Amino acid sequence: VDHQKADWVSIHERICQLLIPIRTSLPFLLSEKERKHGTEQLVKRQKYIIDLTYSTAQEFVSEGKHKEAIPAALHALRFSTEVYGSNSVQLVPAYLLLAEASTGKYCVGHLPEASKYLSQAQWIVLRTPDCSVALQYKLHRSLGLFYAAEGNFEQALYHLANDIYLASSTFGLKSIETSGGYFHMANVFFRQNKMDIANSLYTEV
């Protein structure tokens, strides 16, 4: 009941009506042209739901409502899998969002799930030679945040350094994208009581 309530509050209320045409089977006696049109409409609706559920989960995470974000992010992952297949690089954003939501401070005990989502994202990125740098830096940032949550600061700094390197090589040293990596790295140094380095990085941000 708690899971159903969380799902309803998080996302289901928003997508309930949208699911009806998706779950309705196409009539059997259709011409090839009609079937093709029906399939195109189905994929269009599924992509709309992916965008809606992903942006809703992002909103919850940015508001610090990590638990509420998880059901919405799970729907984004499920529909992404249906549209793109289980090994597609298109699934990585949903996996990273699920990992971030599971790493939140109010999601104590969810770190094993976060680790599983990150492993899946990492595996897909490694198997995609032409994976964009934008996605790679986000993966390193997620890994950095995960290790910081675990208290493994050495690994956290390693991944955040990769995050900054990749983001700056694509967007520039003074970009908003790069500043996020500096900020999270500063937080790690702050937790290690290395205040000079932390303050220097906060100033950079």
- Read off the pLDDT of each residue in 88-115 and give the average, rounded to a whole number: 86
Percent helix, percent strand, percent coil in the chain, to nearest 5:
80, 0, 20
DSSP label at residue 152:
-
Where does the pLDDT of residue 40 fall: very low under 50, low under 70, confident under 90, or very high at 90 and above?
A: confident
Q: Tell me yes or no: is domain 132-204 CATH 1.25.40.
A: yes
More confident: 133 or 17: 133
Task: Tell me the domain boundaries of the chain.
Answer: 1-117, 132-204
pLDDT at 163 over 90: yes
Q: What pLDDT does residue 1 have?
A: 47
Structure tokens at 178: 């790069």
- Read off the pLDDT of each residue in 169-180 and give the average, rounded to a whole number: 92
Contact 149, 111 (CB under 8 A): yes
Structure tokens at 201: 């990085």
Give the Cα separation of 42 and 11 in Å (integer): 20
pTM score, whole prediction: 0.82
pLDDT at 27 over 80: no
Mean pLDDT of the chain: 85
The DSSP code sequence of 2-31 is: HHHHHHIIIIIHHHHHHHHHHHSPPPSS--
Give the Cα separation of 98 and 107 in Å (integer): 11
**Would the CA dihedral through 62, 63, 64, 69 be positive or negative?**
negative
The DSSP code sequence of 46-114 is: HHHHHHHHHHHHHHHHHTT-HHHHHHHHHHHHHHHHHHH-TT-GGGHHHHHHHHHHHHSTT-TT-HHHH
pLDDT at 10 over 70: no
